[in-house]
Amino acid sequence: MSSQASTNHQFPAVSLETTETEEQSMEQLQLENSALHEEIETQAQENALLNEVISTVCSTLRLEEVLQHLVETVVRATSCQIAYIYLYDKDKERLVLASTTEQYRHLIGKLSMALGDGIAGWVALHQQAVFLKDDAMDDPRFCYFPELEEEKFQSIMTVPIITKDRNLVGVITVQAIAPHDFTEQHKIFITNTAALVAGAIENAQLYENTQRKLSTLASLSVLSQTISSGLYLDDMLRSLATLTVQIMEVDLCVVMLLEQVHERDQDALKYPRRLTVHASFPHLNERVHFQAIDVDHHTIERLHEFHEATLINNQVNAKITGQNGQYAMMGDETLQRLNPVRDSQYKALLSAPLIAGAEQLGLINCYSNKSKRFTLEDQTLLTTIANQAAIAIKNSYLVNQLAQKNLVKGFFDDLMHETSESEDSLKQRAHFLGCDLSRAHAVVMVEIAHLEERYIRESTKRNPKGDLWPTPHLPVPPKSDDDYTTSTLQNSYKRITGIVHRRIQDSFMGSIFHEHENLLTCLIPLGKDTSGSRLKLWLQELSQQMRSEHNILLSIGISNVCQQISDYRQGFAESQEALQMGQNLNENKGEQPIVTHFNDLGVYRYLYKIAHTDNLRDIFQDQVAHIDDYDRRKNTDLLVTLETYLECAGNLTRTSDRLYVHRNTLIQRLERLQSLCKVDLQDRSSWLTLQIAIKIYKLKMGKI
């Protein structure tokens, strides 16, 4: 009985302990369940945010949109106030702020840092994440940027954005005002987010680069159409500057041209050439004083070298840098002065020479208001633009030169043929060409010949039978397969004509010229030298210079002074006669230049027209021709003997002295002459007629 009572007494105690244990277990289960539920919710939120990130990067290829969505997502996920995304610029080797929360968006693209600078730079350099719960400014890696007001923030979390190949894309930074305990989930989320967006950012950058290149190609197409549209040069250059600003994404484009010099003008190439601004966009002539620049031959050669290096840039490891209005080109700072606005506010400069073939035409400069390092790709693009522009500029020059040449030729033709055009009209045309017809002028014709060419011309004269016979006193020229080809001679004519043209123009301002093969026709102002004597002396000096410097022989004919419009027709005829007659009269000079004024011709200026217009035959002409034919057949000098005898008025002593023969030899020659002539050589009344007949015959046969 007592035992049963005892047992019943202990049972309630056991039930109480079990109940307490069960209650504790339930509480524990509830706590664990709550924690698990929170973890599931956190994980779900993280997954939702990651899905949002994935959705964002898959929904667009526009980099700006991708980064902005990413900033907003990171801020919500970490409960921080600020987020920054910096992208790595390989060309500048800097981290550049690419996206952030709204209050700091005005700094996008303006704020940058080098690798290793600040916490973000350290993370980028070492590709390791940094998590700072508080006192971020006390960290030795911290770098203060006042624009970001970083003194407000205590906590920082920064992770690198890197690709699978460990290539740096950028960094993500979040900041909190109060000390913030970044959880493991925060760290995992931000790390996973960085991994997800690395490829997306690369794809977006590739897309933008592709779009930019497509836009550039379209702009280049427009540029090509513009410069080939036949615009006047100034209009074309203004359009070029405008389109270049758009294509290169710069703030200013300036197009400069060198003063024109013929490639064949070797003298001009020795001296500095003036480089002047011809077009700019925006138009700055009223705000900026463009400075003309003298460019020496060495600098032009350096521009050519740089141009060639750019064309093969895949073999050249070169970068173009610009800062504070200066730039380095292939390590050569001597070209820094090719900047007409070097004292302006522009901080970066990129240049490309305008070169067509081997001719340096000028320079195209692009400027930026900000300090900027231009890439090799930028240089290649600008060089492409410059090459297209150079061809268009060269074509414009050629068209202008052809038009100028045709204008001068037409003007000279009208002066020579006395057209019905009024004198005022002719004077206006002359003024347009740079010539003042109210001043006295001389017509000058310059024929250019090489020494070897003079030899050929003189040693291949034909007799009436067509036989060739050499001139003994001229030296035999060296043999060469190419010396006397047509193309070689034409190129040589052009080069020498350019030199003569420039030297005359430099000494006689207002001269105009017409070039045709090896003949240069000039209209030269005389000033106070109305007789033309000073002009003749100057042309003689020029001829000697060309002989000694270039192995060139000049034959020059000078007319009398032309003061009235009506004088020019005769002036052209006189110049031509002086040139031709001077060559004939001075044939025995051999390798010496010939400068002949029309008044130097003496009696021959009267006989010249008779010889070229009189087709009548008479006994005197027949006798002279008969003697000349005898000389050719017998290899004698009877015609020379007769001419000398008549010039000495029949004096045997003087005649024999001039011919360097014995008196008896002279008498024998005269006897032979008389046997050939039907004219009595002793009849003094026939001497003058016979002398004139000999000179006219020689003029006709080209033997004077």
Nearest-angstrom CA–CA distance, 568 and 523? 10
Stated as kind and residue range, the H or E segment containing 573 is helix 567-585
The whole domain housing 621 covers 613-701
pLDDT tops 70 at residue 134 = yes
Q: Residue 268: inside a domain, yes or no? A: yes
pLDDT in tens, 651-695: 999 999 998 999 999 899 888 988 888 888 888 888 888 888 888
Q: Residue 217: inside a domain, yes or no? A: no
Question: What is the reported pLDDT for 291?
Answer: 67
Question: What is the reported pLDDT for 53?
Answer: 61
Mean pLDDT within 131-146? 83
Backbone angles phi, psi at 362, to 5 degrees: 165, -150
Same domain assignment for residues 121 and 202: yes
Q: Where are the alpha helices (DSSP H) in 228-254?
A: 233-248
pLDDT tops 50 at residue 358 = yes
Same domain assignment for residues 143 and 174: yes
Same domain assignment for residues 201 and 253: no
Question: What is the reported pLDDT for 608?
Answer: 67
**Least confident piece of the model among 45-59, 146-160, 204-218, 294-308:** 45-59
Same domain assignment for residues 268 and 128: no
Question: What is the reported pLDDT for 469?
Answer: 27
Mean pLDDT within 421-440? 86
Helix then strand then coil, % of the chain, to nearest 5: 55, 15, 30
Mean pLDDT within 489-495? 79
- Strands 594-597, 552-558: pairing is parallel
Task: Using the 3D structure, point to which of 567, 601, 635 is the last residue of a domain.
Answer: 601
Nearest-angstrom CA–CA distance, 431 and 424? 10
Binned at pLDDT 50, 70 and 90, residue 462 comes out as very low
Same domain assignment for residues 327 and 391: yes
pLDDT tops 70 at residue 590 = no
Nearest-angstrom CA–CA distance, 200 and 610? 96
Same domain assignment for residues 248 and 101: no
447 and 554 Cβ atoms separated by less than 8 Å: yes
Question: Which percentage of the chain shows pLDDT scores above 70?
Answer: 77
pLDDT tops 80 at residue 180 = no
Read off the pTM. Answer: 0.47
Same domain assignment for residues 379 and 265: yes
Peptide bond into 282 cis (omega under 30): yes
How much is the mean pLDDT over the chain?
77
Nearest to 678 by CA among 668, 693, 695: 693
Mean pLDDT within 451-463? 47
Q: Residue 542: inside a domain, yes or no? A: yes
**Least confident piece of the model among 330-344, 459-473, 548-562:** 459-473
Exposed / middle / buried, residue 121 (Cβ in 10 Å: 0-12, 13-18, 19+): buried
Question: What is the reported pLDDT for 56?
Answer: 60
Please give the single-letter amino acid code of residue 33.
Answer: N
Same domain assignment for residues 436 and 544: yes
SS3 category, 591: coil
Please give the single-letter amino acid code of residue 134.
Answer: D
**CATH number reported for the structural domain that contains residue 679 in this entry:** 1.10.10.2840
**Least confident piece of the model among 331-345, 369-383, 478-492:** 478-492
pLDDT tops 60 at residue 510 = yes
Task: Using the 3D structure, point to which of 399, 426, 443 is the last residue of a domain.
Answer: 399
Question: What is the reported pLDDT for 37?
Answer: 63
CB count within 10 Å of CB 377 equals: 12
Nearest-angstrom CA–CA distance, 507 and 574? 23
Which tokens go with 125?
């350099």
Q: How far does Cα 613 stand from its chain's mean position?
A: 54
Q: Residue 517: inside a domain, yes or no? A: yes
Nearest-angstrom CA–CA distance, 629 and 623? 10
Binned at pLDDT 50, 70 and 90, residue 476 comes out as very low
**Least confident piece of the model among 271-280, 300-309, 589-598:** 300-309
Q: Residue 409: inside a domain, yes or no? A: no
**CATH number reported for the structural domain that contains residue 522 in this entry:** 3.30.70.1230
pLDDT tops 50 at residue 441 = yes
pLDDT tops 70 at residue 39 = no
pLDDT tops 70 at residue 472 = no
Q: Residue 51: inside a domain, yes or no? A: no
CB count within 10 Å of CB 632 equals: 14
pLDDT tops 90 at residue 433 = no
555 and 439 Cβ atoms separated by less than 8 Å: no
How many domains does the structure of the chain reveal? Answer: 4
Same domain assignment for residues 395 and 428: no
**Alpha-carbon Rg of the chain, whole angstroms?**
47
pLDDT tops 80 at residue 26 = no
The dihedral sign for the CA sequence 679, 683, 685, 691: positive
- Max mean pLDDT among 51-55, 108-112, 221-225, 534-538 falls in 534-538
pLDDT tops 50 at residue 531 = yes
Which residues on adjacent β-strands are paired with residue 355?
A: 360
Which of residues 36 and 353 earns the better pLDDT score?
Answer: 353
pLDDT tops 50 at residue 195 = yes
Question: What is the reported pLDDT for 235?
Answer: 84
CB under 8 A, 24+ apart: contacts of 424-433: 426/565, 427/565, 430/512, 432/407, 433/404, 433/407, 433/408, 433/512
Binned at pLDDT 50, 70 and 90, residue 473 comes out as very low
pLDDT in tens, 240-272: 888 889 888 888 898 989 887 654 444 545 567
Please give the single-letter amino acid code of residue 162.
Answer: I
Mean pLDDT within 590-601? 85
Nearest to 310 by CA among 353, 267, 340, 279: 353
Binned at pLDDT 50, 70 and 90, residue 615 comes out as low
The dihedral sign for the CA sequence 379, 384, 385, 390: positive
**CATH number reported for the structural domain that contains residue 252 in this entry:** 3.30.450.40
Q: Residue 444: inside a domain, yes or no? A: yes
Same domain assignment for residues 434 and 573: yes
Q: How far does Cα 418 stand from its chain's mean position?
A: 43
HSE, side-chain direction, 13 A CA sphere, residue 384: 17
Task: Using the 3D structure, point to which of 560, 576, 601 is the last residue of a domain.
Answer: 601
Which tokens go with 576?
């031509």
Which tokens go with 103?
């209050």
Same domain assignment for residues 488 and 344: no
- Strands 130-132, 321-323: pairing is unpaired
Which tokens go with 44?
């779900």
CB count within 10 Å of CB 505 equals: 16
pLDDT tops 60 at residue 444 = yes
**Least confident piece of the model among 140-154, 300-314, 381-395, 439-453:** 300-314
443 and 574 Cβ atoms separated by less than 8 Å: yes
Q: How far does Cα 217 stand from its chain's mean position?
A: 22
pLDDT tops 60 at residue 481 = no
Nearest-angstrom CA–CA distance, 411 and 60? 69
Residue 512 to residues 35, 516, 595, Cα–Cα distance (Å): 102, 14, 20
Q: Residue 18: inside a domain, yes or no? A: no
Nearest to 476 by CA among 460, 452, 448: 452
Question: What is the reported pLDDT for 613?
Answer: 64
Which tokens go with 67?
């980064």
pLDDT tops 70 at residue 699 = yes
Same domain assignment for residues 295 and 148: no
